[in-house]
Structure 1
Amino acid sequence: MKKATGRALPRTDQPDIRACCGFHCSSCPSYKMNARTDADRKRVSEGWQKLYGLAIPPEALCCDGCLEPDENHPHRIGGACPTRTCVLEKKIAHCGECSSFPCEGMEKHFQSVETVVPKAKEILTPEEYRDFVEPYLAREFLTEQAGK
């Protein structure tokens, strides 16, 4: 990994929050409690562009998370999520509680992050890796939950 530069994003003091897909919201740099300043959001925008090729303007990077009820009109990165829809329809907390886990949809979801890990280890500082990769490595968490 590259040498650390810049500052790591603040971490929320909120409880451990996991999305329907297992993403770690409380560690996600775009989660509302972590993306507090324009500088935070700009750093996320640049980091996600660098690693994932996502062109999301900084002003759009303040996510309320998928656990926020729709009636509160939450802002979610990426809009409608099929994983969230499935979890809500099945009335479970996350995919790890599903009898079909891991399904084809979740395998694709995992791969969207797991395939960038080698590149991330080459181009990111340890702090950037912590902020832009680790919150989205959900396979281990969900597999652990499925075994309970």
Structure 2
Amino acid sequence: MRKIASCGNDCLACLRYIATQSNDTSKLNEVAELWNRVGWRDKVVSPEEIKCYGCSSANICRYEIQKCTSEKKIDNCGNCNDYPCNLSTRSFEQTKKYAESIKAICTEEEYQQFTAAFFSKKKNLDEVRNNRRK
């Protein structure tokens, strides 16, 4: 069973989400250090600050996708009749930039983890969309 976020991120592939679900403080510290190293945080934050329980209306979504899916009462963009839209397309474009910007910073294993969790969002949403049509 997959847990695809509003924007297409795969929560069950995300080290941050996994460490939160298992309440693994050591792993949360590693995630905080990694997020800082790749530039997703401007400092190494505490395990409490890096925890992630998945998308909710309390989360900050820089693309406003979570707000949109919440208003439409759907789990993610793949379940939307308007998919793909300007919000999702903008998210995909930015994701490509992030993927390129961190490639030289990460180990191959870290990069593959990021790819599975974050950089495959279009593929994930396309699969949701295609499965919905069946």
Please confirm whether the aligned pair reaches a TM-score higher than 0.5, indicating the same fold: yes
Give 1:83's match in structure 2, choosing from 61, 65, 83. 65
- 1:145 aligned partner: 128
The unaligned stretches of length 5 or more in structure 1 are: 1-14, 71-75
Identity of aligned residues (%): 27
Give 1:58's match in structure 2, choosing from 26, 46, 51. 46
**Partners of 2:16 and 2:10 in 1: CA distance:** 11
Amino acid at match of 1:144: E
The unaligned stretches of length 5 or more in structure 2 are: none
**Partners of 1:111 and 1:49 in 2: CA distance:** 22
Give yes or no for contact 1:87–1:95 (8 Å, CA) kept in 2. yes
* Greater share of residues in helix: 2
Q: CA 1:52/1:143 → structure 2, altered by over 3 Å: closer, same or farther?
A: farther
Amino acid at match of 1:38: T
Q: CA deviation at 1:64?
A: 1.1
**Partners of 2:54 and 2:40 in 1: CA distance:** 21
Give 1:92's match in structure 2, choosing from 70, 74, 82. 74
- 2:111 aligned partner: 129
- 1:6 aligned partner: none
Q: CA deviation at 1:57?
A: 0.6
- What is the TM-score normalised by the length of structure 1? 0.70
- 1:106 aligned partner: 88
Q: CA 1:116/1:84 → structure 2, altered by over 3 Å: closer, same or farther?
A: closer
Amino acid at match of 2:113: D
Q: CA deviation at 1:20?
A: 1.5
Q: CA 1:50/1:112 → structure 2, altered by over 3 Å: closer, same or farther?
A: farther
Amino acid at match of 2:3: I
**Partners of 2:15 and 2:95 in 1: CA distance:** 15
Q: CA deviation at 1:29?
A: 1.4
The size of the alignment, in residue pairs, is: 124
- 1:73 aligned partner: none
- For residues 5-58 of structure 1, give each alpha carbon's deviation from its aligned partner in whole angstroms, at most 9, with x where no partner exists: xxxxxxxxxx42111111111111111225x33321222112112223423613
**Partners of 2:32 and 2:126 in 1: CA distance:** 30
**Partners of 2:98 and 2:66 in 1: CA distance:** 23
